[in-house]
Amino acid sequence: VDGCPQGSICGPYIWNLMMDTLLRQLEQVCKCCAYADDLIIMVEGQSRAEIEALAGAHLRTVCDWGNSVGVSLAMDKTTTMLLKGRLSASRHPSIGLNGAFLRYVTEVKYLGITFGERMCFTPHFTGLKRRLLGVVGQVRRILRNEWGLSRRAVRTIYNGLFVACATYGSSVWCDAVTTVVGRKKVLACQRVTMMGCMPVCRTVSTEAMQVLLGVPPLDLEVRRRAVLFKVKRRIPLLQGEWLADRNVESLGLSVCKKLLDECVMSDWQVRWDTCLNGRDTYRYIRDVTFVGSRPDFGFNLSLGFLLTGHGSLNAFLHQRRLSDTQECHCGLSEETWEHVLCECPSYEDLRSLSAFGVRQVRGGFDVSQALSTSDRVRLLNEFARAAFARRRVLTHQGIV
């Protein structure tokens, strides 16, 4: 407002009173939305000419209002974009005022959410991933592989910072994650944050990282928050949404939250059971709620090699052409995580399968109970650190 000091207490109220007169005029002829001095006008039409005529008329209304209250329209900051329809992308509507035409854009950011043409949220996911990379880079200084914050604190930072940032405005774009493309893009955003929170190789699958960190797939979390948003505001749920078949008003908010958590865990468990990725990790952890029920669970980088099968193992390195052989230096077998943990004679003095909770079964070893207690996790961390330290020595000696 002209003459109003920046940061004044009365300024926003005075502006709202002025802006309200414009909104009352526009609401009679179109749909509009305003936040402070940012205004969106949505124009509907059956043809390009109709859209141009209506938009031009609304633009004149805004300019006339501005002249009456002493403010002007920033033409260089005002843009147009098609939200839906089948008009040619190469010949967009031309909307202008007094001989000056508004700039047409293919994406626009409003209140932190980036919209693309025809309500495409791909630009939002792209920008979200870029922002998360910056946040992870800053937080990474205290999230190290062998020192820094505890795993429990890391999970708190993940849920309180990364998830909150990634799911901002999710009630608006939640439908986008139900598509294959949208789901892949939002999971790519989650992968960026998990890589900054875990001591694992970059090649580990997203599914395995989710289980090891104890966080559900981000697309499921987005859907959960979107449904919860509707429940809180008593917005009717659509068919196919969680709790759509329940009388949520009679259940209460706390019960709805519990049911939504169960829906997330159920869908996540089905994905983990049927997924083709992360099968080495699946042999250790089959229940997706495991890490969530064990806040003390944590592992170092060396144990991460054994839990995922990705790391300083010739069998893994040979697949990626980073090693000339997949054989272990002992000469008895391929150097897999299972061989290092259970069989390799080079680490016999470090190993105690019974203490690890590992059982020999027909055709291999059962490691499903190896992480069942804090003591076993501690012993496995110590074994892995010592075993791979010895492997590095053997490598320097030219034996591996």
Assess contact for 26 and 60: CB atoms under 8 A: no
CA distance 397 to 369: 35
Please state the rounded mean pLDDT for residues 201-211: 97
Instruction: Indicate the helix (H) or strand (E) that contains 265.
Output: helix 253-274
Res 85: pLDDT: 76
Query: Could you tell me what percent of the chain has a pLDDT over 70?
Result: 96
Q: What is the pLDDT of residues 331-355, one digit of tens each?
A: 888 999 999 999 999 999 999 999 9
Of the candidates 239, 210, 246, 243, the one whose C-alpha atom is nearest the C-alpha of residue 229 is 243
Residue 112 banded pLDDT, cuts 50, 70, 90: very high
Q: Give the count of beta carbons closer than 10 Å to the beta carbon of residue 115.
A: 21
Q: Is 372 left (phi over 0), alpha (psi -120 to 50) or beta?
A: alpha
Q: What is the mean pLDDT of the chain?
A: 91
* Residue 92, phi then psi, degrees to nearest 5: -80, 160
Distance CA 8, CA 305 (A): 57
Q: What's the full length of the chain, in residues?
A: 400
Give me the DSSP letters along 288-324. Answer: TTTGGG-TT----HHHHHHHHS-SS-HHHHHHTTSSS
Q: What pLDDT score was predicted for residue 400?
A: 55
Q: How far apart are the first and last CA of the chain?
A: 73
Alpha carbon distance 176, 219 (integer Å): 9
What mean pLDDT do residues 140-167 have? 80
Whose CA is closest to 203, among 94, 297, 309? 309
Which 8-state DSSP code applies to residue 135? H
Predicted confidence band at 1 (pLDDT cuts at 50, 70, 90)? very low
State whether residue 365 is helix, strand or coil. Answer: strand
Distance, in Å, from the CA atom of 72 to the CA atom of 74, rounded to the nearest integer, reads 6
* Nearest CA among 77, 18, 71, 83 for reference residue 44: 83
In tens, the pLDDT along 254-274 reads: 999 999 999 999 999 999 999
Query: Structural domain boundaries of the chain?
Result: 11-105, 115-277, 301-396
